[in-house]
Amino acid sequence: MALFGTDGVRGLANGPLTADLALSLAQATAVVLGQGRSAEARRAAGKRPTAVVARDPRISGEFLSAAVAAGLASSGVDVLDAGVLPTPATAFLISDIDADFGVMVSASHNPAPDNGIKIFARGGVKLPDEVEQRIEYAIAGQKLQPTGPNVGRIRRFADAEDRYVVHLLQSLPHQLDGLHVVLDCAHGAAAGVSPDAFRDAGARVTVIGADPDGLNINDGVGSTHLDHLAVEVLRAGADLGIAHDGDADRCLAVDAQGNIIDGDQIMAILAVAMKDRGVLTKDTLVATVMSNLGLHRAMAERGIRVVQTNVGDRYVLEEMNAHGYAIGGEQSGHVIMSEFATTGDGLLTGLHLMAEMARQGKSLAELASIMTVFPQVLVNVKGVDRTRVADAGVSAAVAAAEAELGDSGRVLLRASGTEQLVRVMVEAENVEQAQRIADELAAVVLERLAL
């Protein structure tokens, strides 16, 4: 079975994801990524390859990041340990100091017992599939075993947070003066840096979910649990709330009335703002097939093209990189602004969202009103043969549903990549119609594809 999933290597810490695996993975990464032209140029100049290592605050990150650093140093790589820091900060720092690569130890929005290892290449970019495969093969191969002065050193990256915050502030088109935000840091990697960044940008900040103890990451807080944030926004009389996930590569929001503003709405606001400023490359936004029909309509009304990709921020990023697009993302809050970041960045997204509020002097609800969110119903059909999703009977049922919806909705069937499961998603002008059609299609899928 493949070691890498859709976003690095992930699993139960000390279950499948052990210190031994982390060390071996780091050693294999040094073999594959520590041998490029920049690494060879460093060696020619009498220097060793360099890697940035960071983690989120879950307790297993302590031993896993130590194992990663040990594996790299034992392979002749100098390690700059950035400590607890968001994933997008790690990606930025790799580029900022021209490191050869970097490693982030995090399981993102997963619960505390899980963890993961994300590897970034030079420039802070995610690895393509073929490079991940080379690293997997290298685990069983010969390791680099330098001795004497050629072993790597492990040093603290002392100004990591400051470099990242300065970068965020320099990206802003407008200060946040006069705006009051409640930040939910998910007891995660953003707890130390996000409040400072928003305050330095001029906002008044109320903070929740910023007391990580290694066990409470994502526990009832953060971008996957927005109820508490909505309550706090209303209690504080704030202009909005912003929620990160455990490694802070996501941003979701709530407006002053406590209504959720999802990734599609955030992308709509930012894309229109970028077009107004003349920086929306090719007047194009990249989104996944799960993005709401309302996003497509809102963008079409404003002369913005939406390019669709498969689900997953890596596919969004691949499309953006291939064509030079400036913004893309997912409904879940992964928003990529390629001028300033190589991955989704929850802090960057939140800051730019608030900057647009300040620039226009409008509430978040007013800005979000450019997009009407269509009710979206998702039904997971289990115990079916996902390889036969193109079955003629299923296709006929989908065609009939699409005919009923016309231009007022859409249907999407997606086979799971890991389970015998098919996801049925239906959008319509009202939730009752969406639910009925989704249930009818789910029944057909179960009847036709049952194992």
Task: Give a three-class secondary structure readout of 144-205.
Answer: CCCCHHHCCCEEECCCHHHHHHHHHHHHCCCCCCCCEEEEECCCCCCCCCHHHHHHHCCCEE
Q: Which domain holds residue 45?
A: 9-158
CA distance 249 to 347: 8
Which residue numbers belong to the known binding site?
A: 108, 245, 247, 249
Closest CA to 246 of 352, 104, 91: 104
CA distance 248 to 371: 25
3-state secondary structure of 65: helix
CA distance 49 to 73: 10
* Catalytic residue (one of 65, 95, 108, 291): 108
Residues 278 and 327 in one domain: yes
CA distance 304 to 194: 31
CA distance 98 to 434: 50
pLDDT at 156 over 70: yes
Q: Are 315 and 288 in contact (CB under 8 A)?
A: yes
Which residue numbers belong to the known binding site for Mg(2+)?
A: 108, 245, 247, 249
Residues 63 and 193 in one domain: no
Distances (CA, A) of 219 to 161, 174, 235: 25, 33, 21
Number of compact structural domains in the chain: 3
Residues 146 and 49 in one domain: yes
Quote helix, strand, coil % in the chain, to nearest 5.
Answer: 40, 20, 35
Number of helices followed by number of strands (H, E) in the chain: 15, 19
List the structure tokens of 255: 């407006």
217-255 pLDDT tens trace: 999 999 999 999 999 999 999 999 999 999 999 999 999
Q: What is the CATH number of the domain that holds 28?
A: 3.40.120.10
pLDDT at 368 over 70: yes
User: Across the strands, what pairs with 105?
Assistant: 55, 117
Mean of pLDDT values over 71-90: 98
Residues 90 and 117 in one domain: yes
158, 187, 218 — which closes off a domain? 158
Residues 343 and 363 in one domain: yes
pLDDT at 77 over 60: yes
pLDDT at 34 over 90: no
CA distance 215 to 209: 12
What are the backbone dihedrals phi and psi of residue 184, each rounded to the nearest 5 degrees, phi first?
-105, 110
108 catalytically annotated: yes
pLDDT at 304 over 80: yes
Residue 39 confidence (pLDDT): 67
3-state secondary structure of 215: coil
Q: Evaluate whether residue 313 is within a structural domain.
A: yes
* CA of residue 427 relative to chain centroid, distance: 24
Residue 337 confidence (pLDDT): 98
Residues 279 and 317 in one domain: yes
Distances (CA, A) of 400 to 414, 430, 440: 18, 18, 11
